[in-house]
């Protein structure tokens, strides 16, 4: 079946299958839950797709797809968007191959059982990736703001969305640069990992760690006065390398 492990994923890699599956699930499952988008949801979707169209380092046909969805949304001046209209853009025309793969495939995000990992794992991965694509001249809150809006308006796990909004309201507006944005998301994700470690949402095959563990990034860790401290400069270098286009793998069967 689809959950038969293809092969143990390499935790040092990012897999395009997870990222494209995140796009598919976000746009064609989560957004589709609303037959008509209004108000805040319209704004959140526009911001999310604008960020994807700008920064998602995808295959050419996926980038074309994202640009066409972005264009369509920008031209939609109405304050209410029926999903049926959006759906035409999201599925593409048969003759123009600008749509996403029609199925989700988890590779790096595959759980040991179907209810573990999958989409939430891929959504984190997607947003970490997006935070490191912005150049130093970009607005520091562009990607984080889009993530905040998407999670608030659409993320199906409402408890998760509340937790995330709590962290965002507390400190997101203190972020002053794109580097700080990448580190903000990294440190908040680690807070979530710490909170969830040992709970029933943890896949026993993928324990919740403070990430990246020393095996992935020895230089990220140091000890001061016998206490563990992160070397933030090393973490930032690691995030930029780990979530760089060069570390995204299309082929996961070898």
User: Which of 182, 192, 235, 243 is CA-nearest to residue 212?
Assistant: 235
What residues make contact with ligand FAD under the rule CB under 6 A? 109, 117, 120-121, 123-125, 128, 151, 157, 159-160, 163-164, 186, 189-190, 192-193, 196, 201, 203, 206, 211
Residue 217 C-beta: closest distance to ligand FAD, Å: 11
Residue nearer to ligand FAD on the CB measure, 95 or 200: 200
What is the nearest approach in angstroms of ligand FAD to the Cβ of residue 105? 15
- Residues pairing with 228 in the sheet: 223
| Helices and strands (DSSP H and E) totals, the chain | 9, 6
- Neighbour tally for 115: CB within 10 Å: 9
User: Smaller CB distance to ligand FAD: residue 16 or 109?
Assistant: 109
Q: What is the 3-state secondary structure (H, E, C) of 112-176?
A: CCCCCECHHHHHHHHHHHHHHHCCCCCCCCHHHHHHHHHHHHHCCCHHHHHHHHHHHHHHHHHCC
Would you say 147 and 50 are in contact if contact means Cβ atoms under 8 Å apart?
no
The answer to whether 51 and 66 have CB atoms below 8 angstroms apart is no
C-beta closer to ligand FAD: residue 201 or 247? 201
**Closer of 50 and 160 to ligand FAD (Cβ):** 160
Structure-token match 């957004």, residue found: 31
| CB closer to ligand FAD out of 46 and 188 | 188
| Tokens read off for 83 | 């999903």
Q: Whole-number minimum distance, CB 231 to ligand FAD, in Å?
A: 15
> Left (φ > 0), alpha (ψ -120 to 50) or beta: where does 153 sit?
alpha
Length of the chain: 254
Question: In the bound complex, what is the minimum distance in angstroms from residue 163's beta carbon to ligand FAD?
Answer: 4
Buried b (16+ CB within 10 A) or exposed e, 157-194: eeebbebbeebbeeebeebeebbbbbbbbbebbbebbe
Nearer to ligand FAD by C-beta: 10 or 78? 10
Residue among 61 and 206 whose Cβ is closer to ligand FAD = 206
To ligand FAD, the closest distance from the beta carbon of 197 in angstroms equals 10
């Amino acid at each position: 079946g689809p959950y038969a492990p293809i092969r143990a994923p390499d935790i040092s890699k990012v897999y395009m299958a997870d990222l494209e599956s995140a796009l598919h699930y976000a746009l064609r499952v989560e957004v589709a839950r609303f037959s008509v988008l209004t108000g805040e949801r319209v704004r959140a979707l526009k911001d999310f797709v604008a960020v994807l169209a700008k920064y998602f380092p995808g295959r050419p046909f996926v980038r074309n797809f994202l640009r066409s969805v972005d264009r369509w949304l920008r031209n939609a001046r109405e304050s209410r968007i029926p999903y049926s209209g959006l759906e035409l853009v999201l599925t593409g025309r048969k003759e123009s191959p600008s749509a996403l793969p029609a199925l989700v495939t988890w590779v790096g995000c595959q759980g040991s059982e179907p209810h573990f990992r999958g989409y939430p794992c891929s959504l984190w991965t997607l947003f970490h990736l997006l935070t490191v694509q912005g150049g130093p001249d970009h607005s520091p809150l562009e990607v984080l703001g889009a993530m905040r809006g998407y999670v608030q308006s659409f993320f199906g796990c409402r408890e998760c969305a509340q937790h995330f909004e709590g962290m965002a309201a507390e400190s997101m507006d203190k972020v002053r640069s794109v580097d700080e944005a990448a580190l903000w998301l990294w440190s908040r994700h680690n807070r979530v990992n710490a909170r969830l470690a040992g709970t029933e949402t943890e896949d026993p095959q993928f324990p919740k760690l403070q990430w990246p563990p020393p095996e992935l990034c020895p230089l990220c860790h140091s000890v001061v006065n016998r206490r563990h401290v992160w070397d933030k400069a090393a973490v930032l270098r690691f995030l930029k390398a780990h979530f760089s286009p060069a570390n995204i793998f299309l082929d996961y069967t070898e």
